[in-house]
Structure 1
Amino acid sequence: MKILVTGGTGFIGKALVKALIGEGHWVTVLSRSPENVERVFGPEVIGLGHLSFLQPDASFDVIVNLAGAPIFDARWSEARKRLIRESRIGLTEQLVSCIERMTVRPKLLINGSAVGYYGDQGDQILTEASSVRPDFSHRLCADWEQAASRAAEFGVRVCLMRSGLVIAGDGGLLQRMLLPFRLGIGGRLGSGRQWMSWIHREDWIRIAQTMIADETMQGPYNATAPNPVMNRQFTATLARCLHRPALFPLPAFVLKTLLGEMSELVLGSQRVLPERLLMHGFLFRHPDLEGALRAALGAESGGFETKI
């Protein structure tokens, strides 16, 4: 298949593109630095600098939309929040406009989203059918999904992946946590009672591959492992995997002072279950946190290889 991946040089996208190449697909990656695409993936992957370069006769079987400015990299000023929204919603609107103009439209659009869609919901168990609690993360994800869903008007099957914390040893939030925990100064965040919904990156990629192969899949799917944990359990498990204590909690008021509104990402609670994936019969390779962390940490020094 011919597949276009936006955000293909990011933490998830890079591993996905390598897996797709391994399956024999022809992949094009949208990147602000298209000259780096060949360096990262080799000459068989085409780098695309801007969506405006796509002509109406461009043809892809599948588009995977993962583009977006990093959400953790800077405090959420009003300008930063506009950038976060525009890099996701604005680009997705441009992408759907490109799809509308295509002579031969893709069969499938997979759009990245997040469990932040549900907002801060405490201990409430959340499925794809659950109600939401409005906040910045919810509005961001809801508007992002709405922009992507418009592709269905042009006969495109749309799958919306609401991802939890994606675990792998070479990037993401886990990599940011490793140094303090290895130094023995890690600990729970706030009360530690907030739920963390997570997924190993290998399973995330397998979900995307399943969506590509199975034409019956459409609509929203929670891309999370079936066993979410509270933050205090997550941090205790990570410390145990690293053979370190977890004795230094960060109080909520400190996080709110340091991070401002962005603190909702680490203090908010989403207890999310992948109900639709489980009903579909999807089998997780990493259903439990300790096994997922050990797999990620074991692959850390040697890089990530998807085993399908």
Structure 2
Amino acid sequence: MKVAIAGGSGFIGKHLTRYFLNKGHDVFILTRSEKTSSEKRLHYVKWLSDSATPLASLEGIDAVINLAGKSINSLWTEKTKMDIFSSRISSTKAIYSIIDGLQKKPSVFINASAVGFYGTSIDQTFTEDSIEAGKDFLAKTVDAWEKEAAKIGELHVRTVIIRIGIVFGHEGALPSLALPYKLFAGGKLGTGQQWVSWIHVKDLIALIDHTIHTSEISGPINATAPSPVKMNQLGKTIGKIIHRPHWLPAPSFALKTLLGEMSIMVLEGQKVIPMKALQHHFHFVYPTLDEALSDILKKQMKSS
């Protein structure tokens, strides 16, 4: 199989690349700069520049995965918000142009999205049947991104929108969440009652592969574990696994002062259930928080 990945150098992209290479597939990373690889099955394809000619390299591709977009993990100035939004729309438009120009279309296009689509809530439960987008900046950004990605379906390519929760692995959000505990300063963030819909990075990668090979899956699919938790439980579980106290709270007003509008990412959340993944018989290796964090944090403790 030949797989093209936009955003292949990020946290998820690197895991996905390694996964497909280990399976013996050819991986084509879309990149803005000239790169070469010593790995026989890893190819770099220049795009998003006047001199780029990606079509020649991508003819015959089987699956296209779009993970491209500016990181949301930086203070949200008006310029940053504009970059977060425009980077997602422009990269998706570019992928549309590439797929439109291919003589043989890929069998599937998978566009990253986020559970932020649903907005935030303490008491609601969201599945793929929840069709109304939220009203905050992240929800509006994700909604626009998904609508742009859905246009690729008009090219008669099966299109999947994978709404990703907080991804736990050795990179990403977990090291930042665990650091205060390692310093004996961990505790409740805000009220602690906000929902965290999460997924182990290995399950996320396996779900993307499952989606590629399950032709019945199209449209949105939630990439979250089947057991979302509240923030207070997440903190207590981190403390328990690394043998640190859960005692020093970070009040909401302090986090809002420190992070500004970006504080929504830790102070508010949504309870999301992966209904479509379960209906299509996807097996989660790490369905519970204890299993997921034990796998990651205990390995980190052994290596440190």
For residues 201 and 260 of structure 2, the distance between their equivalents in structure 1, rounded to whole angstroms, comes to 28
Q: Mind listing any 5+ residue stretches in structure 1 that lack a counterpart?
A: 304-308
RMSD of Structure 2 on Structure 1 (CA): 1.7
Aligned runs of 1:105-254 on 2, under 5 Å?
A: 105-130=105-130, 131-169=132-170, 171-254=171-254
In the aligned structure 2, how far is the partner of 1:286 from the partner of 1:140? 29
TM superposition shift of 1:43: 4.5
Structure 2 contact 31–47 (Cα < 8 Å) conserved: yes
Inter-partner Cα distance in structure 1 for 2:301 and 2:32: 28
C-alpha separation in 1, matches of 2:147 and 2:98: 16
On the 8 A contact 1:182/1:244 being kept in 2, the answer is yes
User: Aligned-pair distance for 1:56?
Assistant: 6.0
User: 2:45 corresponds to which residue?
Assistant: 48
Corresponding residue for residue 101 of structure 1: 101
Q: Does 1:8 align with 2:5?
A: no
Instruction: Please identify, of 230-239 and 180-189, the stretch whose mean Cα deviation from structure 2 is larger.
Output: 180-189
Question: How far 1:55 moved relative to its partner?
Answer: 2.5
Using the alignment, how far apart are the partners of 2:242 and 2:108 within structure 1?
41
The answer to whether the 8 A contact 1:125-1:271 is kept is yes
Moved over 2 A (4+): 31-35, 55-58, 298-303
Q: % of aligned pairs identical?
A: 39
Amino acid at match of 1:199: I
Structure 2 vs 1, CA of residues 274 and 48 (structure 1 numbering), >3 Å: closer, same or farther? same
Match of 2:297 in 1: 297
TM-score (norm 2): 0.93
Q: Which moved more, 1:223-232 or 1:23-32?
A: 23-32
Normalising to structure 1: TM-score of the pair? 0.92
Whole-Å separation in 1 of the counterparts to 2:29 and 2:177: 29
- Separation in 1 of the partners of 2:250 and 2:37? 42
Give the superposition deviation at 1:129.
1.2
Distance 1:276 1:183 in 2: 39
Give the superposition deviation at 1:34.
Answer: 4.6
Q: Distance in 2 between matches of 1:190 and 1:202?
A: 29
- Give me the whole-angstrom Cα distance separating, in 2, the residues matched to 1:196 and 1:212: 26
User: How many matched pairs?
Assistant: 298
Compute the displacement of 1:220 (Å). Answer: 0.5
SS at match of 2:44: strand
Q: CA deviation at 1:53?
A: 2.4
Q: CA offsets per residue over residues 97-151 of structure 1, 9 Å max, x none?
A: 2111221111111111110000112221111111332111111111111111111
SS at match of 1:110: strand
2:16 aligns to what SS in structure 1? helix
The answer for the alignment partner of 1:306 in structure 2 is none
Stretch moving more, 145-154 or 290-299: 290-299
Which residue number corresponds to residue 38 of structure 1? 37
- How far residue 48 of structure 1 moved from its aligned partner, in angstroms, is 2.1
Would the alpha carbon gap of residues 135 and 104 (structure 1) be closer, same or farther in structure 2, given more than 3 Å must change? same
Alignment partner of 2:120: what SS?
Answer: coil
Amino acid at match of 2:42: V
Where does the alignment leave 5 or more consecutive residues of structure 2 unmatched? Answer: none
**Are the equivalent residues in 2 in contact too, given 1:8–1:66 (CA < 8 A)?**
yes
Letter aligned with residue 3 of structure 1:
V
Cα distance change, pair 94–157 in 1 and its aligned pair in 2 (3 A): same
Whether 1:81 and 2:81 are equivalent positions in the alignment is yes
- CA–CA separation in structure 1 for the residues paired with 2:204 and 2:168: 9
SS of 2:111's partner is: strand
